[in-house]
């Protein structure tokens, strides 16, 4: 593959991470709307509202490895196209769910089906887009592809949540479902018109072997993701418990740290290596979490959130770059999907585990426990750095 210029490379990456943006726009749009609809309009309790939201996360978790495997077998373009179709169908089922609101259990079931389609769509679109980008610009630029994929993800979430509330306020769930369907359908049509992606041939490594090669990187990602989970999920409760104002600005600070780090130092992974960048990132994230835990006021907690977002930012691409090095090129989709599943797993278990910790040791403790696990991840990565240095020494 001829080497692309910097501008050509960025353009190629943008041309595929746009599909990730559409996918996570579909994820974010109903987040602030569906719990209220299930609870207030359909009359179910808060537990069922939580089940509706969690259905998507579980579908994503269990379909990530399959998304990667199919990307290796079918090519990234087909997998992204299928993922966008699933995202569009989620909007269809939301609309049917509202249409059947006079039968609450039927309506609830249709909405849950929509959430399952969205979970599958998230897996296929995000994993496929990363592999598509790597195919277009070359595996040596994997870190840049993963970084911009993350910017598209969190940019869409930041825009989608308030946009979803506005659309729902204006046109109710019908308008939201139509918007999700139309956007997903348009993105799918754009994806179909793109040139086919070359599929790397060769023998496929069994999933168990891929998992065996990358699980340490995935575990490090899972521990690092806990900081993201406890800040985004519980910071509002933490501020309320301390009678502080500005919880929303704290989430903004986290996002600024996250996106800013990827924009400013996203290329540092190619320069210093994924392990060293991840090691430094874990250190920054741990300091941020400890600051939140010990914060005497909202300003210190906000600065802690900024550091947590800054530290977390490059962990996913840093360890992801290293993970895909351990598998043949024809298995990189499977490796990416399996690696990403550790992030989904962390988010799935973080809520219940943090809730249990809050019950017995208080809200502040969850930031301490998350910091401890981030430090454990840093020690794991430090051991990898030492082991690699020893292997490179002359005998």
Pick the last residue of a domain from 163, 198, 233. 198
Q: Distances in Å between the alpha carbon of 68 and those of 75, 144, 216, 327, 335?
A: 10, 19, 18, 13, 7
Structure confidence at residue 205 (pLDDT) = 67
Q: Are residues 234 and 364 both part of a single domain?
A: yes
- Torsion angle of C-alpha atoms 60, 65, 66, 72, degrees rounded to 10: 130
Q: Are residues 219 and 343 both part of a single domain?
A: yes
Q: Are residues 224 and 322 both part of a single domain?
A: yes
Highest mean pLDDT: which range of 79-93, 265-279, 349-363, 379-393: 79-93
pLDDT in tens, 298-339: 999 999 999 999 999 999 889 988 888 878 777 777 888 888
- When divided into structural domains, the chain yields a total of 2
Q: Are residues 144 and 129 both part of a single domain?
A: yes
- Output 223 or 11, whichever has higher pLDDT: 223
pLDDT in tens, 38-62: 877 888 776 777 678 778 888 888 8
pLDDT in tens, 183-204: 999 999 999 988 877 666 556 6
What secondary structure, in 3-state letters, does 118-178 show?
Answer: HHHHHHHHHHHHHHHHHHHHCHHHHHHHHHHHHHHHHHHHHHHHHHHHHHHHHHHHHHHHH
The model's confidence at residue 280, banded by pLDDT at 50, 70 and 90, is very high
> Is a pLDDT exceeding 60 seen at residue 1?
no
> Is a pLDDT exceeding 60 seen at residue 394?
no
Structure confidence at residue 202 (pLDDT) = 55
Structure confidence at residue 288 (pLDDT) = 96
> Is a pLDDT exceeding 50 seen at residue 395?
no
Pick the last residue of a domain from 198, 231, 260. 198
Q: Which residue has the tokens 């910097």?
A: 6
Q: Are residues 137 and 234 both part of a single domain?
A: no
Domain range spanning residue 193? Answer: 1-198
Q: Are residues 314 and 189 both part of a single domain?
A: no
Q: Are residues 219 and 360 both part of a single domain?
A: yes
pLDDT in tens, 214-252: 889 999 999 999 988 888 778 878 888 899 988 778 888
The CATH number covering residue 49 comes to 1.20.1250.20
Q: Are residues 183 and 250 both part of a single domain?
A: no
pLDDT in tens, 89-103: 999 999 998 888 888
> Is a pLDDT exceeding 80 seen at residue 357?
yes
């Amino acid at each position: 593959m001829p080497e692309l210029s910097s501008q050509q490379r960025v353009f190629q990456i943008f041309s595929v991470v746009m599909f990730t943006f559409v996918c996570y726009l579909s994820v974010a749009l109903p987040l602030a709307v569906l719990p209220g609809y299930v609870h207030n309009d359909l009359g179910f309790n808060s537990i069922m509202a939580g089940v509706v939201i969690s259905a998507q996360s579980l579908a994503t978790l269990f379909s990530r490895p399959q998304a990667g495997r199919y990307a290796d077998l079918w090519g990234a373009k087909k997998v992204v196209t299928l993922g966008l179709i699933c995202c569009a169908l989620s909007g269809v089922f939301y609309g049917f769910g509202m249409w059947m609101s006079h039968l609450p259990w039927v309506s609830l079931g249709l909405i849950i089906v929509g959430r399952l389609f969205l979970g599958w769509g998230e897996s296929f679109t995000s994993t496929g887009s990363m592999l598509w980008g790597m195919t277009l610009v070359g595996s040596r630029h994997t870190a840049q592809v993963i970084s911009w994929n993350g910017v598209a993800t969190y940019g869409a979430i930041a825009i989608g949540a308030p946009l979803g509330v506005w659309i729902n306020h204006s046109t109710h769930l019908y308008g939201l479902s139509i918007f999700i369907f139309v956007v997903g359908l348009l993105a799918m049509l754009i994806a179909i018109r793109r040139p086919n992606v070359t599929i790397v041939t060769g023998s496929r490594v069994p999933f168990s072997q891929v998992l065996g090669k990358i699980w340490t990187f995935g575990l490090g990602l899972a521990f690092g993701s806990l900081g993201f989970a406890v800040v985004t999920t519980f910071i509002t409760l933490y501020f309320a418990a301390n009678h502080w104002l500005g919880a929303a600005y704290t989430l903004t600070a986290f996002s600024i740290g996250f996106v800013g780090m990827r924009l400013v130092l996203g290329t540092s992974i190619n320069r210093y290596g994924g392990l060293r960048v991840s090691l430094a990132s874990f250190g920054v994230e741990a300091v941020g979490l400890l600051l939140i835990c010990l914060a005497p006021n909202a300003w210190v907690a906000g600065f802690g959130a900024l550091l947590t977002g800054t530290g977390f930012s490059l962990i996913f691409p840093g360890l992801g770059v290293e993970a895909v090095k351990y598998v043949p090129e024809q298995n990189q989709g499977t490796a990416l999907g399996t690696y990403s599943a550790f992030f989904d797993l962390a988010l799935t278990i973080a809520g219940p585990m943090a809730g249990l910790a809050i019950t017995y040791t208080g809200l502040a403790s969850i930031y301490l426990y998350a910091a401890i696990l981030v430090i454990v991840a840093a020690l794991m990565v430090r051991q990898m750095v030492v082991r690699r240095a020893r292997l490179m020494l002359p005998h």
